[in-house]
Each structure stands twice: as C-alpha cells, then as structure tokens.
Amino acid sequence: MIKSRRMISIVLLVVLIVLSLSIDARRDVNLFTLFQFTPETIEILLISRIPRTLTIILSASALSVAGLIMQSVAKNKFVSPGVTGTTQAATLGVLVAHLFFPSMALWLQFIFSFSASLIGSFIFITFLNKIQFKNEVYVPLIGMMFGALISSLSILLAQSTNTLQFLNSIGVGSFTNKTIGTYEMIYFVVPALLIAVIYASEFNIVSLGKDFSNNLGVNYKKVIMLGIIIVAVITASTFIVVGPLPFLGLIIPNLVSIYYGDHLKKSIFDLMIFGSIFVLTCDIIARSVLFVLTGYNFEVAVGFVMGIIGSIIFLYLLLRKTKNA
C-alpha cells in the first residue's frame, strides 16, 4: 500500500518537474520542443528554468521539514515557522539589514534574518516550555499573537523610516526571477536538510516529552537547540530567496502523517516529495492562471495561490482532527 503510494507520488513529482521546466514566457520552448536540446533550449534551461525548479524543490522540501521539526519541538501538530513568529522574525531581520546596510548584499541579509529567526523561535520555545497548556488549539493561537507582535514591531520600524513599501514587497513569496545569480542562497538548506535526516529519530523522540526522551538517552536540550537552529537556517534562506510560503510547513507534515504515519526516519523523504509536489502544483497554477484568465503573459506571486489552497487544506485538517478527538 505505502509502496504503491510512494511510486505514484514519485511519478507525479517527475511529471510536475517536467511541466515546470516547460512553462515560461518563452512559449516556443515548450513541452514538445524542450527535449530536442538545441543550444538555445539548453541555455534557457540552464540560466532560468533549472534554477527556478531547483529553488522550488529545495525550498519546498526544506520548509516542510522545518514545519515538522517545529511540530516535534513544540509538541503540537498545528504549528510551523509561519505560525510561531519565526517567519515574522526573519522579515524583521531583513528589514533591519535593509535599513543599516542598504547595499543589500544577500549574505548580509541572510545573517540578519538568520539571527532574528533564531532569536524569535528560541523565545517562543522557551515560552512554551515555561507554561503548560491543555488545549491543542491554544498553542498556535499564542504563536499567531506572538507573530503579530513581531510584525507590528516591523511595521513600526518601517513606518518611522518610510520603508513600508519595502516591507510589503518582501512579504509575499514568489519564484519570479529565480535565475543564476539570485537563487544560490537556497543551497544553505542542503546541510540543514542532511542534519535533519540524520537526526530524524531524535526529533521523533523529543516530541514525546522531556522525561521520556531523557529516559531513552536522548539529550533533550541539545536536540531542541539543534532543531531550532535548523528551522532558523531554513526559514532565513528560503525567506531571502523566495519569501514567505504560507501554510507549507503546517499542512504537508500533517498530510504525510495521515498517509505514512509518524515514523520520521521512514517518512522524511515522503515529506520532501509531498512538499515539492504541492509547491510545484501551486507554482504552475500561479504561472498559468493569468494566461488562462486574461491571455497575458503575467504570473501571480505563488504566495497568493498557496495562501488560498493551503488555508483551505488547513481548515479541512483542523475540522477533521478536532472532530475525531
């Protein structure tokens, strides 16, 4: 059963990758002419389409894994970096970098947003460990309020320095213009993903609680800290390259745990495949919807499409889960 599911999802992923490689404003390089590999198609592929597709796959799998780690660390199924203020902290970091060093070197932005999201998620996790909740819905609620607090800090900063427009422009995720020279920062997620795969079982154990993991010989504090660092690296680098991708870290781990169970070591690759399928689909929709509706070669930011589809799936998950409980 699981094996056939896995096969289907891999086939689907390959189909979507080919589709993603064959859609663009250059309509003469399409699904049928792509595999003739003339020098021109190869150039187009290398400069723009492969970087873009690679960015999509890497950021999608990384954010899904980040969501999963966040859920293990916070011991709650309804959290993700976007819900607990990590993404908002990354925004604040980029804004600060923009204010103090307007030269906008990408690595500088990365350092700022990385440290900001590290601090943000660290505060949230210590905060959660300090208090006890009985209600499952309570934790994401507080996380959203915490995120709203950080956002209002950013808005305050932007308003007093006349950079509100910049703040709005980095607030929507988009894969537009991900060509050579603008997408390389996404490679930061590769080591983070590797470490996440190696430590998958530890994250599994940590989600059972402090006493339990100490009993099983897992260093609770160390694993939590490691998880927060991985989440911060992933959030910061995807934020710099793509921007926020709403609901990704929230719904993909939940869907995967419905279909493949909670054994992380076994399901972490399914998680990445699922995340990539979801984002590739959304990106293809975002690229083609305006062409279908109006006939113009424009694309919508993928963040909008993901916000709409993702929130509908999340609502479904929320109602399903609380109904069974």
Partner 1 sequence: MLRKYKFWTMIVILSILLYLGVWMVSQFDVIMFSLNDPDRAPLFIDVMLNIFQRRLVQVIALIIAAVLIALSTTVFQTLTQNRIVTPSLLGFDSIFVVTQTTLVYFMSMSRFVVDPILNFMVTVVLMVGLTLLMYQTVLKRHKNNILLLLLIGMVIATLASNYASFLQILMNPTEFQTIMSLTSVSVVNIHTTLTFIVLPVAILVSAYFFSKSRVYDVIALGQTHAMNLGIPYQKQTYTDLIFISIAIAITTALVGPLSFLGLIAVNIAKELYNKYHHQAIFILSSFISIIVLILGQTIVELLGFRTVVTTFISLFGGIYMIYLIIKEHKV
Return the number of the residue (109 or 213) whose C-beta is nearest partner 1. 213
| Cβ at position 224, least distance to partner 1 in Å | 17
Q: Which of 56, 30, 52 is nearest to 41 (CA)?
A: 30
Return the number of the residue (31 or 312) whose C-beta is nearest partner 1. 312
Task: Name the helix (H) or strand (E) containing 19.
Answer: helix 2-22
Residues near partner 1 (CB under 8 A): 78, 127, 130-133, 135, 137-138, 140-142, 144-146, 148-149, 152-153, 155-156, 159-160, 172, 246-247, 290, 293-294, 300, 303-305, 307-308, 311-312, 314-315, 318-319, 322-323
Under 8 Å CB-to-CB from 309, ≥6 apart: which residues?
282, 285
Return the number of the residue (181 or 209) whose C-beta is nearest partner 1. 209
The DSSP call for residue 23 is -
* Coil vs helix vs strand at 47: helix
Return the number of the residue (24 or 299) whose C-beta is nearest partner 1. 299
The CA R_g of the chain, rounded to the nearest whole Å, is 20
Torsion angle of the four alpha carbons 169, 250, 302, 307, in this order, in degrees rounded to the nearest 10: -80
Q: Which of 275, 257, 265 is nearest to 200 (CA)?
A: 265
| Cβ at position 3, least distance to partner 1 in Å | 34
Return the number of the residue (46 or 293) whose C-beta is nearest partner 1. 293
Alpha-carbon distance 263 to 283, whole Å? 29
Return the number of the residue (38 or 152) whose C-beta is nearest partner 1. 152
User: Crossing angle of helices 138-161/86-100, nearest 10°?
Assistant: 10
- 38 token code pair: 């003339």
Alpha-carbon distance 35 to 30, whole Å? 9
Return the number of the residue (51 or 143) whose C-beta is nearest partner 1. 143
Alpha-carbon distance 92 to 112, whole Å? 9
User: Crossing angle of helices 50-74/189-198, nearest 10°?
Assistant: 40
Alpha-carbon distance 90 to 101, whole Å? 16
| Cβ at position 82, least distance to partner 1 in Å | 9
| Cβ at position 296, least distance to partner 1 in Å | 11
| Cβ at position 301, least distance to partner 1 in Å | 8
| Cβ at position 156, least distance to partner 1 in Å | 5
| Cβ at position 238, least distance to partner 1 in Å | 18
